[in-house]
Amino acid sequence: MQDSMLLGSEGIKKTILHGGTGDIPKFITGAKVTFHFRTQLCDDERTVIDDSKVVGTPMEIVIGNMFKLDIWESLLSSMRIGEVAEFWCDIIHTGVYPLVSKSMRRIAEGKDPVDWHIHTCGMANMFAYHSLGYDDLDELMKEPKPLYFVLELIRVQQPSEYNRESWALSDEERLKAVPVLHGQGNKFYKQGRYQEAMQKYKEAIICIKNVQTKEKSWEVPWLKLEKMANTLTLNYCQCLLHIEEYYEAIEHTSDIINQHPGVVKAFYLRAKAHMEVWNEAEARQDFSRVLDLDPGMKKAVKKELAKLNVRMEEKNQEDKNKYKAQFHSGNPHSSRSALPPTPPQHQVTMASSSRPGK
């Protein structure tokens, strides 16, 4: 069935490709909508940008949850269950699509839709649009275009008909969930269940970051959320130390230090991570910074420095033993016989090689 019509919004044209059944569902705030979508350019080839059926997973959004591409709520609200419709949307509705597409692609690739652990300064944020990590989306970001959205409505669930995950919560509900998730993470941590603790901390951080994006950077509400997120990120890093993911711990603590150079715990955890990967100079520098910021940490730092001294002595001895083993492997006379004759007028010395890297 071909039924072309203009919706009530400017710059939208709808064509029904396959009729649905029943009445139009109630799209009330909190309702979860499940649908397939295909996004195409308005060129002769109808070039496909994204297709949820190719990915194999339908899209889900919650009505009234400030989904970035809010026009989709309007489009879906005109549809019946089982209906397939094509919507032509002018650039006034499609400008943010590249950002939405990036998030959806990251989810499909098994990555976080938001880089909750990446902290960038205001200047970096100004230039973040230069690359979304996908060439076609970069092009669409530079030059917005009208798009076709082919939507297939699968189901609409009212708020009481499904268990709401953190992504489906309102901002108020997200903030209420943060202390609960924090407490659950702490409980798992005390039980030594570090992977489960990390998952809870991560969920809490994502809740905070989703709310924080709606606040103005570096103003009081934003800073309060930032402090909450940093506390959870450092708890996450403590778990990383226990599961021996030292380089990731260094990355996250460095992000916090770069933005907030007075956070003592970030320096302390980064120092411990550096110590585990034999970065002696970096570890000592961070421990020194800890003492500068909080002299009350002297006893704890002294204990860690003693561990560092022992570890470095053991490492140096291990390296010496490895070097000796390499030098004396094979025929003990082979190295001497392989050397060219020593000119009588010169004295030749062999410089010891530098310690092999870890």
188: CB partners within 8 A, 6+ apart: 194, 196, 197, 200
What is the CATH number for 134?
Answer: 3.10.50.40
Whether residue 146 is found in the same domain as residue 287: no
pTM, 2 dp: 0.53
SS3 content of the chain, % helix, strand, coil (to 5): 55, 15, 35
Q: Residue 355 domain-assigned? A: no
- The confidence score (pLDDT) of residue 113 equals 52
DSSP 293-347: H-GGGHHHHHHHHHHHHHHHHHHHHHHHHHHHHHHTSS-TTHHHHHSPPPPTT--
Domain boundary among 243, 274, 294: 243
- The confidence score (pLDDT) of residue 44 equals 93
- The confidence score (pLDDT) of residue 311 equals 86
- The confidence score (pLDDT) of residue 285 equals 96
- The confidence score (pLDDT) of residue 8 equals 63
DSSP 197-226: HHHHHHHHHHHHHHHHTTSPTTSHHHHHHH
Q: Residue 40 domain-assigned? A: yes
Whether residue 93 is found in the same domain as residue 77: yes
Whether residue 207 is found in the same domain as residue 110: no
What is the CATH number for 219?
Answer: 1.25.40.10
- The confidence score (pLDDT) of residue 347 equals 38
Q: Residue 325 domain-assigned? A: no
93: CB partners within 8 A, 6+ apart: 9, 11, 12, 71
Q: Residue 281 domain-assigned? A: yes
Whether residue 175 is found in the same domain as residue 90: no
Q: Residue 23 domain-assigned? A: yes
H or E element: which one contains 84? strand 84-89
Whether residue 152 is found in the same domain as residue 89: yes
Whether residue 140 is found in the same domain as residue 180: no
Q: Are 138 and 132 in contact (CB under 8 A)?
A: yes
Report how far residue 212's alpha carbon sits from residue 347's, in angstroms, rounded to the nearest whole number.
70
Q: What is the dihedral of CA 155, 202, 257, 286, to 10 degrees?
A: -160
Q: What is the dihedral of CA 9, 12, 16, 20, to 10 degrees?
A: -40
pLDDT by position in tens, the chain (length 358): 444 555 567 899 999 999 999 999 999 888 889 999 999 999 999 999 999 999 898 998 888 776 678 899 999 999 999 999 999 999 999 999 998 898 888 877 776 555 544 443 333 333 344 578 899 999 999 999 999 999 999 999 988 787 666 666 778 888 888 999 999 999 999 999 999 999 999 989 988 988 898 888 899 999 999 999 999 999 999 999 999 999 999 999 999 999 999 999 999 999 999 999 989 999 999 999 999 999 999 999 999 999 999 888 887 777 777 777 777 665 544 444 444 444 444 333 333 333 333 3
Q: Residue 80 domain-assigned? A: yes
Q: Residue 337 domain-assigned? A: no
Whether residue 15 is found in the same domain as residue 154: yes
One-letter amino acid at 38 equals R
Q: Is the dihedral of CA 258, 261, 264, 267 positive or negative?
A: positive
Whether residue 49 is found in the same domain as residue 173: no
Instruction: For Cα atoms 343, 348, 352, give the angle at the middle one, nearest 5 degrees.
Output: 155
Other Cβ atoms less than 10 A from the Cβ of 196: the count is 16
Whether residue 95 is found in the same domain as residue 45: yes
For the chain, the domain total comes to: 3
Domain boundary among 243, 275, 291: 243
Nearest CA among 236, 238, 307 for reference residue 278: 307
| Bridge partners, 14 (sequence order) | 5, 87
Report how far residue 17's alpha carbon sits from residue 133's, in angstroms, rounded to the nearest whole number.
33
Whether residue 13 is found in the same domain as residue 155: yes
- The confidence score (pLDDT) of residue 195 equals 95
- The confidence score (pLDDT) of residue 349 equals 33
Q: What's the domain range around 15? A: 3-120+130-162
Other Cβ atoms less than 10 A from the Cβ of 324: the count is 10
Q: Residue 294 domain-assigned? A: yes
- The position carrying tokens 């071909």 is 2
Whether residue 8 is found in the same domain as residue 79: yes
Whether residue 98 is found in the same domain as residue 210: no
Domain boundary among 213, 243, 273: 243
Report how far residue 270's alpha carbon sits from residue 238's, in angstroms, rounded to the nearest whole number.
10
